[in-house]
Each structure stands twice: as C-alpha cells, then as structure tokens.
Chains A and B, each alone.
Chain A
Amino acid sequence: MDHFARLGLPAALDLEPASLDRAYFALQRQWHPDRFVAKPAAERARASAEAAALNDAYRTLKDPLSRAVYLAELKGVEMPGDGKTIDDPELLMEAMEAREELHDAGSTQAVDALAAKVRADMKASLSGLGSLFLAGDKPAIRKALLRLRYLDKFAEEARARRMNLERSTA
C-alpha cells in the first residue's frame, strides 16, 4: 500500500495540510500502541507496525518536497537514493557559488537575506512542479526535484551558519 492510500488520500502533489492531519490523527486514534496496552502480544505487535507505517506515511507526505519526490518515484521517476548526489553540471556550479556566498556572509542579516532568497526560489519551483507532473515530463521532474533537494539542503546549512554567527556574536 502506498503512503497516499494508507491515509486514504488521493495521490496528488497538492495536499491540504489540514486534511492530511485529519486523516492521520483519525487512523492513529485507531492504531496507536497506547490503545493496545492491555491487548495480547500479537495485537500489540500489529498495532505497533500499523502505527509505524502511518508515521512513515505522514512524515513523507507532510513536507511538500518529500511528498513531491515520493510521488515522482511512484510515477517512475528515478531519483538518486542518497539525497546528496548532484549529477547536473549546471546545478553543481550554482551550488558551489551559493555555498561560497554563504561562507562569505558575515552577519545574521546577510545569511537571512540568502535564506529568504532560497525560500522564495523553493516556493516558486514547488509551484512549478504541478505543470511538469501534468505533462508527465520525467527528465524535467527529476531535474527540478534535484534542484529543490539542493535548495532544501542549502536552507538547512544557512540555518546552521546563522546559529553559529548568533553564538559567536552573543
């Protein structure tokens, strides 16, 4: 059973966070191990497995990027498994330049500016995914998702950098 089916949701890129939560909470009410404390071991094991599968589904679908990657894989787009590989020379160049910029950013304001740029970029790319999925353009989907993954990682690095700057100036 795929993650969408497990939560009783249509396999779509756009997912209302509230409806995802609703479906997840309702199923966890049914399967969470806390509901099975007094039950026989076999039932407890089953509940634990169901609850774990629900958590995996929820976690994967909650974040728009991981949801998009998951959906792409369901549709037969092959993504590099480790989430780190960049095999697109253009993107590699972009990544190197951005990293240098981040390294040079000497103030929290400078880092915030970079992070804001990345967030806007991610938002635009995510909303552009819809038409690519509609067209079923697998190479384009793959390229866009790899770039999004990189942007996501960059945002995380910016956060770490900001924290270090905060710590050293405080």
Chain B
Amino acid sequence: MTLLEIHEPGETPLPHAGEGSLAVGIDLGTTNSVVAIAREGKPAALHDETGKAMVPSVVAYPSSGGVLVGDEARLLMPQEPRNVVASVKRLMGRGAADLHAVAGVLPYEIEPGSGETDMVKLRIAGKARSPVEISAEILKALRKRAEEALDKPVERAVITVPAYFDDAARTATRDAARVAGLEVLRLVNEPTAAALAYGLDKGSEGLYAVYDLGGGTFDFSLLRLEKGVFQVLATGGDTALGGDDFDRAIAERMLAERKKDGLDDQVDEAAVKAALALARHMKEQLSDRDQTSGRLELSGVPSFHALTRAEFDAMIASYIKRTVDIARHVLGDADMTAAEVQGVVLVGGSTRVPLVRAEVAKMLGKAPLTDIDPDEVVALGAALQAEALTGGGDTLLLDVTPLSLGLETMGGIVEKVVPRNTPIPVQLAQDFTTYQDGQTAMVIHVVQGEREMVADCRSLARFELLGIPPMTAGAARIRVSFAVDADGLLTVSAEERTTGVQQRIEVKPSYGLSHDDMADMLYDSLENAEADMTARLLTEAKVEARRSLLALDAALAKDGALLDGSERAELDQGRARLEAAMAGEARDEINAAAEALETLSKPFAERRMDRGIREALAGKSVNELESRVGE
C-alpha cells in the first residue's frame, strides 16, 4: 500500500521552467554519459576543456568529503575503491530481489530498500545512498558542463533510457533528474534517439534496425521511417547485458591465471576493480589489433597476461549470440525478415568490438552504418528531440511499450492488458468481475513482463478495490484501465461500474523515491553544496509548491462541496499565504507555508478519501479477497 501514490486523474502537472533556459539532450549511460545541444537542427556534443565529450558514469564520495564525478572519480578508484561507484544505472529501479542479475558486478555493500520504496541502496563512505541519488550526481555534473559551455542556465532536458527499461527504472531516472534540478521534457528510448541522430528521415525511407550494445544494457529496435515520422515497430533487449560482461570475462581469466601460477591473491574490491580496469583496456586494444597483453599488479605482485582476438571472441561469443537471438525475436514480433531491413545503425561503445560488427552484419546481411560516433549518437538524437520539443520541429516519434503490462488473475496467472510493442501513449481497459457471491473487494496486482505466471514477471504495484456493492458472483463490472504516457510511464485505475455506484482510484507505481528519501537527499545536497545550490533548491521548492497548489485546486474544483464555509476560507487563506511566499525568494518560508497548507488540507484530503476509498486503504486481510477474470 505504501508503494502507491494517489493523485488526481489526468493531473500530473509539471510546471514549465523559464523559457529563457536551454534544453539539452542527455545520454545517461551505464559506463559513460554525454550531454549535447541542438541548434537549428544541428546537434553537437558538449566537450570539456580537454575536448572530451564522454563523462565516465562514475561517482566518488572521497573520504575527505565532497562528491566527484567522471574522470576525477575514476582516478580515485585505486586509492578508495569502496567510495567509488560505477555502472549504477544497472541498479536503477531495482529491488533486492532483482540483484541476482547484477551480483558480482558491484562490490559494494548493498542494503535492501525499506519503507516506501523497494529500491536497493549502496553503503558508501558510511552512508546508504540510493541509485537515484548517485545518478543525480552524474546529471548535476552534466548540467554544470552544459551551463559552462553555453553560458546560460540549463533547466530542461530530454534524457534517454534503454528501450527495455521497465516502469520502475524510468521513474527512477525521472526522479534523479528532479534531484539534479532538471525538468524532463521527455524520456526517449536510446535506439529511437540514435535513429533520429542519423537523420534517417532525410531522404531515407523504409525499415531500419538499431543495434545498441552499451556497457550494461542491450537494445534492439526496428523502426519504420517515412516522411519525418519515426515509427518504432518493435523493440526488445536485456537490461543486464553489455560490455561490462566482456570486461568481467577477461578479468576473471586473469585472476584465474594468477591462481594457476600459484599466486595467493586476496581478491578484494581493489583487486577486482584493478583487474576490471586492465581488462577494459585490453578489450579496447583488441578492437584494432589481433593480440594484446597487460600487466596486473595486485598487492605489489605483478603478473603478465596475453590475450588474442580469437581467444577474446571465444569468451564473448555467448553474449553476442544472446543479442542476435533477441534481435531475431524482435524481427519476428514485427513480422519482418532480415532481408527487409534496409540499414542497421550501431550504438554504444561495445559495438566497436569487431566480433559484434561481424555478427550483426552476418545476421542482417549488410554492413552496419557507423559514420556517427557510437558513443555520442544517442545524446545527439536526444538533443535534436529536445530542440524539437521546445522550438517545434517537424519530426514525429511514435514509440511503443517495450514490455507487456497486465494483472494477476486467479491462480497467479497474468492477464495481459497492454501487449508489448503497443504504440504509446495508450489507454486500454479490461473488465473484471467478482468471484464469490457478496464479494465486496478485489485485489489488483499490476505486473510487467512477457511470462504467463505472475511469479516470473515484475511486480509493479498492488492495491485493493473495496466497497464493491454485494451482488452475485460475476455480476459486478470492475473496469481496470492502464494508461501509458509518452514517457512510457504507467498509471493504473480501477472503477466499479455497476448499480450507478462509481469509484475510482488512481495508482501510480512508485518504485522511485520515497518522500523521505527525496527530502534527505535535498538536505544532503544542501550540506555539500556550492553557492548555486541554494538557488536550485529555491526553484525546486517553488516547483513543488506550484505542484501542490495545482493539485489542491483540482481537488477543490471537484470536491469543494465537502467543505463548509469556514473550512474553505481557512484553506483559501493558507493558499494565499503560500502564493505570497512563492513570490519571494525565501525557500524556508515557501516550504513552511507549503507544509502549513498541507496540514490544513489534510482533513479535506481524508474526507475525499472517505468518499469511497477509505476502506481500500484500511488494509483488510488479503485472504478474504479474491479476484478473477470475467469469463
């Protein structure tokens, strides 16, 4: 129950930042991140002083205090391995139960989530930090780079996510942007952004494939291009497959070789990280030569390791085969054959591996397109979309849901409501009914995935609809609606439609941040912040205040009748006080006024809930509730 967030139907206002600020495109990658901007249809990645566009997605919390991001963070790795986090994207929106997929990759102490959210936290430098908080540091660094390069405030962004990111991971990405003070104009799927960057609309029409193998995720998408329309036909992937796996394979081999040579290593985090760093270097070298070697020194004991391209290819063949299997599956989903694909775009640093290129060429029967730097192509596409969204553009992206969404029915079977590859935004409803005579409650369990059994899918949210009028089994009509917005985010609502009694509860799966976490995080940033943080927090407070005012107004418009005259006057006064505070620059005053208004409106909120859903939140025993599909 605590996972749920109740809000006004159709009402998730995101106030707009000043039109003077610029909108950038951000590729928040597993291994590297890039920020780019487009002007008049020409995108460019933003570089640092040394001309580098890529910011390693590495965050360090040095024992001396503060936060480091990127190369500086990576440099700290040998000295303070436990205070450095890499590949945090793999943990976005992940619960403790998902960790088998990434176990062994991240040598940190991992804490299961607690309270409102299920997301894991990492214990770093003596403090539990959520993946959202760590990702926000990367976003802050990118924002800063953009503001320095452009000499203007940057408050809005299009951020890319793997097409295969599930709802929880998308929500977590949005949350991270919020913490970093960025308004997300749109979450765009990485392969779609890549296609956009290739400007495949200009003159080229037909079916194109995007093969995106990054550090930690794999996506394969099929798009149809026609007169400026980018229509995603089908997409698939694996959120735990990428170049990091190649590094690990090499690192494990080196550690095994040392053991075979009789070296008795203490395989701790420092050792693993050192081996991984060398492994990555060797992998990169093998992209343009047939063999390489490296020197690994652990606890002062050096060892030398040779690796040929052929050996490396053999080590990674099974990973690449898996990507090819997924790609074939996606082709089948779209009812297309490899021969119909006109071109294939490569995205992600891991597509530099020669075996990857060879296998993709073999599968599709044509050489891949590689003229744009695969490390920058996604950010460039995101920048183009950011420009299109703020300045108006002619291209149109029509994207799809990557995974099926459904409900648990009797016996733990999944009833799919929104099949995968459905174009978004989408709203689809399905009617369910009661199972027993006189049944007044129904459990609604929302899941995501392709498998038939609930146990094999990802659980997104669970809520109970109570107060169904007692009637014979099968007579009630419970309509459950799934709405997926253009960002790929889901809202579920259930409505009882018989005997004129209507109830409605909107449920938003919130695997993201609990409100406490968000508050803590903002507090922490304040503690460590540079001067501009105060301004950022003020904006944040104003945005939040505006959001709650909008929500209150909507509630008053709908259910104002629940209040008597003096209660209404009190609320109106509180509202006016908040507005007055918002006109000023004192964040504390805004927060205090917002809190006061929240307290004032609490009885009203409770009364609204009482109107039908109080019971739903009272937590009856699940055992006495049953639900099942109509037929």
Q: Which residues of A contact B (CB under 8 A)?
A: 21, 25, 28-29, 32-35, 37-38, 41, 45, 48-49, 51-53, 55-56, 58-59, 80-82, 84-85, 159, 163, 166-167, 170
Contact = CB atoms under 8 A, between A and B. Distances in A.
Interface in B318-355: 321, 325, 329, 332
Given A28-B398, A81-B630, A81-B631, A49 B427 contact: yes
A33 B425 contact: yes
Given A34-B389, A48-B10, A48-B485, 20 more contacts: A25-B229, A28-B396, A29-B229, A32-B396, A32-B398, A33-B425, A33-B485, A34-B396, A34-B486, A38-B16, A38-B389, A41-B550, A51-B486, A55-B423, A56-B428, A59-B422, A81-B631, A82-B630, A163-B332, A166-B325
B346 to A, nearest CB: 23
B17 to A, nearest CB: 11
A159 B494 CA distance: 34
Interface string B388-412: 1110100011100000000000000
A80 B631 CA distance: 9
Contact of B396 (A25, A84, A163): A25
Contact of B423 (A35, A58, A84, A159): A58
A59 B423 contact: yes
B272 interface: no
B186 A34 contact: yes
A34 B396 CA distance: 8
B631 A85 contact: yes
Contacts of A37: 185-186, 389-390
Given A37-B390, A38-B390, A55 B321 contact: no
A28 to B, nearest CB: 6
A58 B231 CA distance: 12
The 3 closest A-B pairs by CB, nearest first: A55-B423, A33-B486, A52-B427
A104 B557 CA distance: 64
Contacts of A38: 16, 389-390
A51 B396 CA distance: 12
Contacts of B185: 37
A55 B426 contact: yes
Contacts of B389: 34, 37-38
B11 interface: yes
Taking chain A's interface residues, is the majority helix, strand, or loop, or is none over half, making it mixed? Answer: helix
Given A33-B485, A34-B186, A41-B13, A21 B423 contact: no
A29 B392 CA distance: 12
A167 B423 contact: no
B226 A51 contact: no
B332 to A, nearest CB: 6
B422 to A, nearest CB: 6
20 contacts: A25-B227, A25-B229, A28-B229, A29-B229, A32-B397, A33-B425, A37-B389, A38-B16, A38-B389, A41-B11, A41-B550, A48-B485, A49-B10, A52-B426, A53-B427, A55-B424, A81-B431, A82-B631, A163-B332, A170-B321
B425 A55 contact: yes
Nearest to A156: B332
Contacts of A45: 10-11
A48 B13 contact: no
Contacts of B141: none
B483 interface: yes
B629 interface: yes
Nearest to A54: B423
B457 to A, nearest CB: 17
A52 B483 CA distance: 9
Interface string B44-64: 000000000000000000000
A34 B428 contact: no
A31 to B, nearest CB: 10
A126 B25 CA distance: 46
B52 to A, nearest CB: 31
Interface string B1-24: 000000000110100100000000
A170 B328 CA distance: 14
Given A59-B423, A163-B329, A82 B629 contact: yes
A140 to B, nearest CB: 23
Contacts of A82: 629-631
B332 A48 contact: no
A33 B446 CA distance: 25
A34 B397 contact: yes
A34 B485 CA distance: 11
Contact of B486 (A32, A49, A81): A32
A70 B150 CA distance: 53
Contacts of A166: 325
Nearest to B13: A41
A38 B147 CA distance: 22
Contacts of B11: 41, 45
B547 to A, nearest CB: 11
A150 to B, nearest CB: 16
A152 B278 CA distance: 52
Contact of A51 (B390, B425, B550): B425
A25 B332 CA distance: 24
A51 B231 CA distance: 14
Given A25-B396, A48-B486, A167-B325, A55 B422 contact: yes
Contact of A56 (B10, B227, B426, B631): B426
A4 B218 CA distance: 38
Contacts of B325: 163, 166-167
Nearest to A53: B427
A56 B398 contact: no
Interface in B561-603: none
Contacts of B630: 81-82
B425 to A, nearest CB: 5
Contacts of A32: 396-398, 486
Contact of B226 (A21, A41, A58): A21
A48 B425 CA distance: 7
A49 B425 CA distance: 8
A159 to B, nearest CB: 6
Contact of B332 (A80, A85, A159): A159
Nearest to B16: A38
A45 B11 CA distance: 8
A156 to B, nearest CB: 10
